[in-house]
Structure 1
Amino acid sequence: MTAVRLSPGRIALNGAALLSLGFILLPLIFVTWLAFFRQEIPSFPPEGYSLKWFAAAAGNKSFVDGFLLSLQTGVLATLIGLALGVPASLALVRHRIVLGPALNTFLLLPLVMPGIVLGTAIYVFQIETEIATGLPVMGSPAGLVAAHTLIVIPWVVKLVTASLAGFDRTIEEAAQNLGAGPWKTFWRVTLPSIRPGLVAAALFGFVTSFGNLEMSLFLVGPGRTTLPIAILQYLEWKIDPAVAAASVIQIVLIGAAMIVTDRYVKLSRVV
Structure 2
Amino acid sequence: MTTRALAAGREVVMAPAGRAARLRRRVGRWALRGVAALVFLFIFIPVIFVVWISLFQQQIVSFPPEGYTLRWYENAFARTEFRDGFGLSLQVAFLAMLIGVTSGAAAAYAIVRFRFPGREALNTLLLGPLVVPGIVAGTSLYVYYIMVENILDMDFRATLHGLVLGHILLTIPWTVRLVSASLIGLDRAVEEAAMNLGAGPWTTFRRVTLPMMRPGLVAASLFSFIQSFENLELTLLLVGPGRTTLPVAMLNYLEFRIDPTIAAVATVQIVLIGALMLITDRFVKLSRIV
Q: TM-score range by the shorter chain?
A: over 0.9
Q: Distance in 2 between matches of 1:114 and 1:207?
A: 17
Q: Distance in 2 between matches of 1:263 and 1:84?
A: 26
1:45 aligns with: 64
Amino acid at match of 1:249: V
Q: Distance in 1 between matches of 2:229 and 2:77?
A: 17
Structure 2 residue 255 is matched with structure 1 residue 246 = no
Aligned mate of 1:84, from 94, 103, 113: 103
Q: What is the CA deviation profile of residues 129-188 of structure 1, one whole-angstrom value per residue up to 9, with x for unaligned ones?
A: 111111212221101101100100011000000010011122222222333222222111
Aligned mate of 2:283, from 236, 251, 264: 264
Structure 2 residue 91 is matched with structure 1 residue 72 = yes
Q: In 2 relative to 1, CA 105–13 (structure 1 residues): closer, same or farther, beyond 3 Å?
A: farther
Structure 2 counterparts to residues 165-184 of structure 1, below 5 A: 165-184=184-203
Aligned mate of 2:223, from 204, 211, 235: 204
Report which stretch shifted further, 155-164 or 95-104.
95-104
1:217 aligns with: 236
Does the aligned pair in 2 maintain the 1:92–1:100 contact within 8 Å? yes
1:121 aligns with: 140
Structure 1 length normalisation: TM-score?
A: 0.94
Structure 2 residue 38 is matched with structure 1 residue 19 = yes
1:98 aligns with: 117
Q: What is the CA deviation profile of residues 25-73 of structure 1, one whole-angstrom value per residue up to 9, with x for unaligned ones?
A: 2211111110010111111110001111112112221111000000000
Q: Distance in 1 between matches of 2:164 and 2:23?
A: 55
Number of positions where the alignment pairs a residue of Structure 1 with one of Structure 2: 270
Give the RMSD, CA atoms, in angstroms: 1.8
Does the aligned pair in 1 maintain the 2:55–2:68 contact within 8 Å? yes
Q: Distance in 2 between matches of 1:9 and 1:119?
A: 48
Report which stretch shifted further, 94-103 or 221-230.
94-103
What's the offset of the Cα at 1:99? 3.1
What's the offset of the Cα at 1:110? 1.2
Structure 2 residue 231 is matched with structure 1 residue 231 = no
Q: Distance in 1 between matches of 2:23 and 2:169?
A: 50
What's the offset of the Cα at 1:17? 3.8
Does the aligned pair in 2 maintain the 1:91–1:97 contact within 8 Å? no
Does the aligned pair in 1 maintain the 2:159–2:243 contact within 8 Å? no
Does the aligned pair in 1 maintain the 2:236–2:248 contact within 8 Å? yes
Q: Distance in 2 between matches of 1:222 and 1:57?
A: 20
**What secondary structure is seen at the aligned counterpart in 2 of 1:219?**
coil
Does the aligned pair in 1 maintain the 2:175–2:220 contact within 8 Å? yes
What's the offset of the Cα at 1:10? 6.4
Note the residue ranges of structure 1 that are not aligned, 5 or more in a row. none
